[in-house]
Structure 1
Amino acid sequence: MDTSPLYQQIAESLRQEILRGDLNPGDRLPSVRSMAARWHCTPGTVQRAYAELSSQKLIESRRGRGTHVVELLPEMEGAPLRRATLLHRVDGFVLETLSTGYALDEVEAALRLALNRWRALATAPSPAPPGVLRFAGSHDPAVTLLAEIFPHFSNGNTLQVRFVGSLGGLMKLAQGEVDLAGCHLWDAESDTYNEPFVHRLFPGRRMALLTLAHRCLGLIVPAGNPAGLAKVTDLARPGLRLINRQRGSGTRIWLETQLHHCGLHMKQLTRYEKEALTHSEVARLIAAGEADVGAGVEAIAQDFGLDFVPLTVERYDLLIPNFVWKRPAVQALVMWLRSDEARTAIGGLRGYETRETGILRWVE
């Protein structure tokens, strides 16, 4: 017989429902009154149980909306929560495919083929064309600058650039489609950039994180900032049109996390119907009057004659596998990033800092 206080028994029962996936992120919990009737206790006992789960960052209460499972479960607090979060995401994918007419056997076969393809690609990267270093990752003006001058310090080599977002770049690197990736992925649990994501996507592999720069991220707004925006919570103002970035971009991940910490969700905001693939596209739509605000870097706001509201400084890294690290073109890149010329060129971009440019961190 469980001899722990009743409020702890109630809290543990609900916690197990979350871990099993019986209660999913965003689901509403029963009212205090109905839980009190179910457990034959006072409402105060249930409230204490809910407070316990809230302190564990598993549920949250909003005035007039009841109590819900948090949208972003704290994945780093242990294997059970990680499994519960993963199960919820996989469930969502399976339900979506079944609703479009696929049979369960078809979904199972497709998932198995996809996993086998990932395993094969991770161990057999495709070779790069001679004289070409292939890059994929988050949009960044410093990367564009780097691609322009790359042939001059790398003996005529070419830096082939594809801007696909931070997670998109890591996925293409894992699949062997590129030689290096660019990312600025903030992990809320560890309050660090990039390393936790590298550990998750490249387990057991030796990877180099080479810092390109620190850059100022914030809100890009029309000239004069007519709406007077100053903080993330201002995005919830009625009628304010937000142009969002695509899923998997480091900027979108950061913004969604900040909104969550403020008790907001992206669904509550008025959004432009399309998603932008780059900071430049965000700025272009705002300059054209098609959107009122979007998250981006200060350098791009300046290029389009727009105003900028700084919110944070983030670290942008280049991720390079160990087997690529000793290639002459990569070593030429490392030497250049550690030069005064690089610090002058990158530091000349508005909102960029070069205090750690060229610093190397190995992740294993």
Structure 2
Amino acid sequence: MSENSSLTPQEVADILKIAKTTVYELIKRGELNAYRIGRRVRVEQSDVEDYKNRSKNLNNVNIKGFNNNNISKNKTINSTPILNFNNNDIIKTYNSNGEEQIKTNYNTILNNNIVLMAGEDVLLDILSRYLSSHPKGAKTMLSCVSSYKSLVSLYEGEAQIATCHLWDGKTGEYNIPYIEKLLPGIPAVIVHLSSRTQGFYVKKGNPKKIKNWEDLRRKDITIANRENGSGTRVLLDQHLKLLGISSQDIKGYNEKYLTHLTVASVVSSGKADLGLGIEKAAFQVQGIDFIPLQKEKYDLVIKKEDLNNLPFKALIEILNSENFRIELDGIGGYDLSETGKIVEI
């Protein structure tokens, strides 16, 4: 095999013009072949071309990536294949040089002096890199799980930092009602990371003239939904409850997708008329429009007893640093006006 045909996740991201985190999602879902050399993830140029060719005709591709007929055999090169992992077991690692690595379960990390952050957003990749390279920081791992499972991981001691964007329809509050329920009796603090805009992805030109939550009552609309426990899925379910709409009356409700980007792509392909997700993903997918509906809080959650430990002091310094904010500003799609704000629960 030629070394020139072996690509890093970042090189694949550059070729496909997507975020590096999306490359990991494609690998995780079996849509893109990958292998490991030691602890490094690599992708063959030929597999990138195969993926591009399959993606040109979305009607013939299972975008969700759950159909085994669309998953090629795993590749290995004196190493362990990294495909067919459980979705909840993918853990990204950032060492002191800010280099990204990947692990496959909690068991390999519990006894190490590291910080495990549970959640999924490109902001977390950046924060993990900063924290790993900070002189007072620590080696950082990122477990890609939903908001609900992130809080459960914090409660069970499997993570030191949880991330969530869970809206409570009864109080109109983000995150606090869920933290109080899922971390019973545990003093915790919220550290605000960013605010994001949630809304509907619709086909370019909005041919169905979709406007707001009330359109979920319509019988002529099919949706692309998110997985249980994700902040976006909880947001949808809370609004359905407020509107008195049964999920059984919504076409596509049981079709679950793992990321905002995949939902937007499904709408773009015409397989769904509507999908709920954050505004940033709408910038990355062609052929869709975005209808803003609600501003959400995306927060970090830490046990209060850990806040004065060095890695967490470094975390607060990073969130309030000019360099970190400049990098996030360059990404776009995030409101950083309250980044670093701390609220005790």
Assess same fold via TM > 0.5: yes
Question: How far apart are residue 241 of structure 1 and its match?
Answer: 1.9
The residue aligned with 1:340 is: 322
Q: Number of aligned residue pairs: give it.
A: 238
User: What's the secondary structure of 2:255's corresponding residue?
Assistant: strand
Aligned-residue offset at 1:127: 7.4
- Per-residue CA deviations over 1:155-186 (Å, capped at 9, x if unaligned) read 67443222321111111111111111101112
SS at match of 1:229: coil
Structure 2 CA distance for partners of 1:346 and 1:166, relative to 1, 3 Å: same
Correspondence 1:264 to 2:245: yes
In the alignment, residue 118 of structure 2 is paired with which amino acid?
A
CA spacing shift, 1:210–1:154, aligned 2, 3 Å: farther
Shift in CA distance, 162/232, structure 1 to aligned 2, threshold 3 Å:
same
- Counterpart pick for 1:300 among 281, 290, 293: 281
1:331 to 307, 313, 319: 313
Quick check: 2:168–2:177 contact (8 Å CA) kept in 1? yes
Question: Aligned-pair distance for 1:296?
Answer: 0.5
Query: Which residue number corresponds to residue 163 of structure 1?
Result: 144
Which stretch shifts more, 156-165 or 201-210?
156-165
Name the CA distance, whole Å, in 2 between partners of 1:356 and 1:229: 32
**Structure 2: runs of 5+ lacking an equivalent:** 1-107
1:276 aligns with 2:257: yes
Shift in Å at residue 310 of structure 1?
0.4
Distance 2:173 2:234 in 1: 13
Is the Cα–Cα contact under 8 Å of residues 220 and 295 in structure 1 kept in the other structure?
Answer: yes
Q: Is contact 2:196–2:278 with CA below 8 Å preserved after alignment?
A: yes
Pairs within 5 Å for 1:79-158: 128-130=110-112, 132-137=114-119, 139-153=120-134, 157-158=138-139
Residue by residue over 1:5-24, the C-alpha shift from the partner in whole angstroms, topping out at 9 and shown as x without a partner, is xxxxxxxxxxxxxxxxxxxx
Q: Contact 2:168/2:238 (CA < 8 Å) preserved in 1?
A: no
Q: What is residue 182 of structure 1 aligned with on the other side?
A: 163
2:100 corresponds to: none
The aligned runs of 1:13-28 (5 Å cut-off) are none
**Conserved? CA contact 1:164–1:277, under 8 Å:** no
Q: Mark the CA change 1:163 to 1:318 in structure 2 (over 3 Å): closer, same or farther.
A: same
Q: Which amino acid aligns with 1:177?
A: E
- Give the TM-score taking structure 2 as reference length: 0.63
Asked if 1 retains the 8 angstrom alpha-carbon contact of 2:131 and 2:311, the reply is: no
What secondary structure, in the 3-state scheme, does the structure 2 residue paired with 1:261 have? Answer: helix
Secondary structure in structure 1 of the residue aligned to 2:234 = helix
After TM superposition, list the pairs within 5 Å mapping 1:4-43 onto structure 2: none
Where does structure 1 lack aligned partners over 5 or more consecutive residues?
1-125
Aligned partner letter, 2:269:
A
Show the counterpart of 1:90.
Answer: none
* Alignment check: 8 A CA contact 1:136 1:163 kept: yes
Partner of 1:209: 190
Question: 1:287 Cα shift?
Answer: 3.1
Structure 1: how far apart are the matches of 2:111 and 2:207?
Answer: 49
Aligned CA distance change for structure 1 residues 197 and 237 (closer, same or farther; 3 Å): same
Q: Which has the larger displacement, 152-161 or 195-204?
A: 152-161
Spell out, residue by residue over 1:200-254, the C-alpha distance to the aligned partner (whole angstroms, 9 max, x if none).
2222221111000111111122333332221112233324221111122221111
Residues 154/223 of structure 1: CA separation in 2 closer, same or farther (3 Å cut): farther
Does structure 1 residue 191 correspond to structure 2 residue 162?
A: no
1:336 shift after superposition: 0.9
Asked if the contact 2:137–2:315 (Cα under 8 Å) also holds between the matched residues in 1, the reply is: no
Is the contact made by 1:165 and 1:277 (CA closer than 8 Å) also made in structure 2? no
Instruction: Provide the C-alpha distance between the structure 1 equivalents of 2:284 and 2:130, rounded to a whole number of angstroms.
Output: 20
SS in 1 for 2:305: helix
| CA positional deviation for 1:128 | 4.1
Q: What whole-Å deviation, never above 9, does each CA across 1:118-175 have from its counterpart, x for those lacking one? A: xxxxxxxx974545321113x3332233234443435674432223211111111111
Deviation of the 1:353 alpha carbon: 0.8
Larger radius of gyration: 1
Aligned partner of 2:227 in structure 1 is 246
3-state SS, counterpart of residue 221 of structure 2: coil
**Aligned match of 2:271 in 290, 308, 311?**
290
Percent identity (aligned): 32
